[in-house]
Amino acid sequence: MTVHQIPNTQNLDAFWMPFTANRQFKAEPRLIASAEGMYYTTVDGRKVIDASAGLWCVNAGHGRREIADAVSRQLMTLDYAPSFQIGHPIAFDFAERLAAIAPRGLDRVFFTNSGSESVDTALKIALAYQRSAGQPTRTRLIGRERGYHGVGFGGMSVGGIVNNRRAFATHLPGVDHLGHTHDLARNAFSRGQPAHGAELADDVERLVALHGAETIAAVIVEPVAGSTGVLIPPKGYLQRLRALCDKHGILLIFDEVITGFGRLGAPFAADYFGVTPDLIASAKGITNGSVPMGAVFASRKVHDALMVGPASQIELFHGYTYSAHPVACAAGLATLEIYQKEKLLTRGAALTEYWQDAMHSLRSLPNVIDVRAIGLVAGIEMSPRKDAAGARAYELMVDCFNRGLVLRSTGDTVAMSPPLIVERSHIDDIVGILGDALKRVA
């Protein structure tokens, strides 16, 4: 039960909430009124630590005046301009700044409005690349079980979380999936990357044997799978995946919507793991969650393959009304300034050991069957209740909210990844509240 709330004087019926049990929530709402730094404030005036950086997106903390001022100035200077056949300088400035921090070689930037749009854009670019490269039979897209790639039809199709697919009978044709990497029997309570499972990348060979390499355009994976409960790649897995994609002429796409912009203590997971894909889908931290925006980073190889034919010809028949929206670009530039000034893209590296120690201190508490942590990301997995999968993690999430902590529940795992401004004292508070809740929630 949510015990801290003001009387429900407003009508909650009209808003159909996303990824929410609407009837359950509206019976006992958890409402946030404001935010600053590491904290939310609820409608009844309680301070709540944000251990989820919003939805993995508020990397620089809440209420950053620099971003608000940049947005205000931009609204009064140029509130909107299209990017179809017309440009505005701030879009080119922002793309250049992003290219400068991207993994080496991924310096061509296509703007979107969300992680879902970034994924669908990356998939379309991969298909267009294969056609332009003279390989039009390469139309198959390969995702991974338990992967989350947003809610567009492309992302849903290559995604591998069952409930995100089950209700929607129509998926893209020609999609298949690698096996997931979660292996509790061998890897439970690993610190950082698990030791076992690099060979799971060899599932690419199975799909090549089944479908033929000449039919496969791209493989897309999250370097760290966040929404399914923080699944960390085994040591050597991503390197092996890169090598197999190269062997068979398959593009490799990293979905870094969560891991991009400092979450692992490096600008991108590609930097952290030392594996460079052909395309990166990003969003979330690109504007500190302040204005919806996303971006796809493309390699020169991919980009230049489409820059052919008459100069007057549109190279990629794709885009959005709000691609490179001037206000979003202004928010993004201000966000990058904060990241650079406060060294937030790498700050997590210095806190990783403390974060891991704190998370693993919970391993002996009731019902905890695994602790996974890397960078400033962690997942605590609990044993499911009989005939009530997910109920224990949901109750834990509600209990924590009541006592001053926001975290995410997904299945029987609670996931955390605080703003990158987090201090050790905040980590202590997070673990203290969570540890007490684990003892209460049977």
pLDDT in tens, 307-319: 999 999 999 999 9
Cα dihedral sign, 182-51-330-86: positive
Q: What is the pLDDT of residue 246?
A: 98
Write out pLDDT tens, residues 140-180. Answer: 999 999 999 999 999 999 999 999 998 898 899 999 999 99
Q: How far apart are CA 299 and CA 106, in angstroms?
A: 4
**Residue 323 pLDDT greater than 90, yes or no:** yes
Q: What is the pLDDT of residue 421?
A: 98
| Contact between residue 166 and residue 174 where contact means Cβ atoms under 8 Å apart | no
> CA angle, 167 as apex, 163 and 170 as ends, to 5°?
115
**Residue 5 pLDDT greater than 80, yes or no:** no
**Residue 4 pLDDT greater than 70, yes or no:** no
Q: What is the pLDDT of residue 167?
A: 87
Q: What is the pLDDT of residue 403?
A: 96
Helix (H, G, I), strand (E, B) or coil at 121: helix
Q: At 300, is the pLDDT very low, low, confident or very high (cuts 50, 70, 90)?
A: very high
Q: What is the pLDDT of residue 169?
A: 82
Q: At 344, is the pLDDT very low, low, confident or very high (cuts 50, 70, 90)?
A: very high
Write out pLDDT tens, residues 115-141. Answer: 999 999 999 999 999 999 999 999 999
What's the whole-number mean pLDDT along residues 92-107?
Answer: 98
What's the whole-number mean pLDDT along residues 81-103?
Answer: 97
Q: What is the pLDDT of residue 170?
A: 86
Q: What is the pLDDT of residue 20?
A: 95
> For the range 62-65, what are the long-range contacts, defined as Cβ-Cβ under 8 Å and sequence gap of 24 or more?
62/35, 62/36, 62/37, 62/38, 62/419, 63/34, 63/35, 63/36, 63/37, 64/288, 64/290, 64/334, 64/335, 64/338
**Residue 33 pLDDT greater than 90, yes or no:** yes
**Residue 40 pLDDT greater than 90, yes or no:** yes
**Domains delineated in the chain:** 22-63+344-440 (3.90.1150.10), 66-342 (3.40.640.10)
Copy the structure tokens of residue 321: 């009304």
Average pLDDT across the chain, whole number: 96
Q: How far is CA 127 from CA 64, 138, 160, in A?
A: 39, 7, 20
Q: How far is CA 359 from CA 67, 83, 158, 404, 418, in A?
A: 32, 45, 31, 18, 13
**Residue 367 pLDDT greater than 60, yes or no:** yes
The phi, psi pair for 118, rounded to 5°, reads -65, -40
What's the whole-number mean pLDDT along residues 75-86?
Answer: 97
